Amino acid sequence: MTATPRELLDTSIAQLQTLTAFLGDQLTANAHQSGSPATPEVRACEEILVSLGALILKVQAARGVRFRG
Virtual CA dihedral for 57, 61, 62, 64, nearest 10 degrees? Answer: 140
**How does residue 46 score in pLDDT terms, banded at 50, 70 and 90?**
very high
* Whole-number pLDDT of residue 69: 37
Q: Where are the domains of the chain?
A: 38-63
Q: Annotate the chain with DSSP letters as a single string.
A: -PPPHHHHHHHHHHHHHHHHHHHHHHHHHHHHHH-SPPPHHHHHHHHHHHHHHHHHHHHHHHHHHH---
- 14-36 tens-digit pLDDT: 999 999 999 999 999 988 887 77
* Whole-number pLDDT of residue 35: 78
Q: Which of 4-8, 21-25, 65-69 has the highest mean pLDDT?
A: 21-25
What pTM does this model have? 0.80
